[in-house]
Amino acid sequence: MMVKHISVLLEESLDYLDIKEDGIYVDCTLGGGGHSLEIVKQLTTGHLYAFDQDDFAIQQAKQKLSNYEDNYTIINENFEFIKEELNARNVTQVDGILYDLGVSSFHFDIPERGFSYKFDADLDMRMDVSSALTAKTIVNEWSFHDIKNILNQYADEKHAKYIARQIEHDRKNAPINTTFELVAVIKRALPEKVLRTKGHPAKKTFQALRIAVNNELHVFERSLQQACDLVRKDGRVVVISFQSLEDKIAKKIFRDKTTSNIPKSVPIINDDTIEFESLHRKVITPSDEELANNNRAHSAKLRAIKKL
């Protein structure tokens, strides 16, 4: 079964990667394989290493990449281990690394994965289905304070306290096992005027749970630091993010890498503390045409840097 997934900011990400036909590239987020396919199409003697911990995503991507088997290697692992996994394959420097941090469309569109509040399914939300922690575990076993904290920290949920308290109350009567059961709990927690506003009342809670289940922010920060070490001179690091916390991490790390550590008052001729240069003045966002064709592109932001 092939599930449709539309890659966001595809042309822009390829432009900023500046692909060389003999280069070594890394797609840290294989997903549906859209970006990976366009990268390998441009390679002759070059090679792409693509990371994903989701078996379904890997099978989808293998079908898409079937004509380019000599030019890619799929690594079934979390991109948190990018340096370790590449070094194990005798790869110590690469020409470009791409992160597309959006959750693949099929995660939302396949009900049994439990990512979406639109389908009734088991509360799961794991990218790696062999992982022990699920959204169901968090909702039913974590403390009121821990649940409130992740709603605040990972989703900026204004009603975190009320939702966490309602979860704590309702689970005493019966476990909260499914997505629709959780949606019902959230709706009971929120004031009527909030329920009447635009947007689904469970959106932020589901986002926070997904981030917590997969430890997304910590993993991304660790991986991006390693990525900056791995690219060779003139190598590129490109990040596409879809929510503010991810973009904040990329923005900070990229700013640190492109900014001098020497005080402005110190006269210097060459500042070799600056490792990278930014490839754009303003953050890159989707074109009007892309927004019209792909609703999931609306929150996307792209940042890119080049090693000096």
| H-helix segments, 215-270 | 216-230, 244-258
Average pLDDT over residues 161-165: 98
d(CA 68, CA 277): 32
Tokens of 297: 């592109």
Q: How far apart are CA 273 and CA 65, in angstroms?
A: 40
Which tens digit of pLDDT belongs to each residue from 227-267? 999 999 999 999 999 999 999 999 999 999 999 766 655 55
Report the predicted TM-score, pTM, of the whole model to 2 decimal places: 0.89
The predicted pLDDT at position 104 comes to: 65
Share of the chain above pLDDT 70, in %: 93
Structure tokens at 257: 């890498």
Q: What pLDDT is attached to residue 254?
A: 97
Contacts of 288 (CB under 8 A, 6+ apart): none
pLDDT classification of 283: cutoffs 50, 70, 90: very high
30 near 57, Cβ under 8 Å?
Answer: yes
Handedness of CA 283, 74, 3, 122 (dihedral sign): negative
pLDDT confidence band for 2 (50 / 70 / 90): very low
Confidence of residue 140 (pLDDT cuts 50, 70, 90): very high
Res 141 pLDDT > 60: yes
What is the per-residue pLDDT across 35-52, written as a single tens digit (0 to 9) for each?
999 999 999 999 999 999
Q: Sign of torsion, CA 214 218 219 221?
A: positive
Looking at residue 102, what is its pLDDT? Answer: 77
Q: Which two tokens stand for residue 211?
A: 């981030």
- Whole-number mean pLDDT of the chain? 92
The pLDDT value given to residue 107: 61
pLDDT at 260 (0 to 100): 76
In which element (H, E) is residue 290 found? Answer: helix 288-293
Strands of the sheet with 47-51, listed across from one edge: 72-75, 47-51, 24-27, 94-100, 231-241, 301-307, 276-278
Tokens of 224: 């991006």
Q: Which residues pair with 74 in a beta bridge?
A: 50
pLDDT in the model for residue 297: 87
Q: If you average pLDDT over residues 149-157, what whole number do you get?
A: 96
pLDDT reported for residue 271: 60
Confidence of residue 114 (pLDDT cuts 50, 70, 90): confident
Cα separation values, 171 from 105, 195, 205, 212, Å: 30, 22, 16, 19
The string of pLDDT tens digits covering residues 64-102 is 999 999 999 999 999 999 999 999 999 999 999 999 997
**pLDDT of 6:** 73
Structure letter (DSSP) for residue 284: B
Nearest of 304, 252, 254, 251 to residue 275 by alpha carbon: 254
pLDDT bucket at 295, cuts 50 / 70 / 90: confident
- pLDDT value at position 67? 94
* CA 238/CA 160 separation, integer angstroms: 33
Does 136 score more than 90 pLDDT? Answer: yes
Q: What is the mean pLDDT of residues 163-171?
A: 98
Q: 112 pLDDT exceeds 90? A: no
Tens of pLDDT, residue by residue over 11-33, are: 999 999 999 999 999 999 998 89
Is a pLDDT exceeding 50 seen at residue 1? no
What structural domains and CATH numbers belong to the chain? 10-100+216-307 (3.40.50.150), 111-214 (1.10.150.170)
Torsion over CA: 292, 296, 301, 302 (sign): negative
pLDDT band at 198; cut points 50, 70, 90: confident
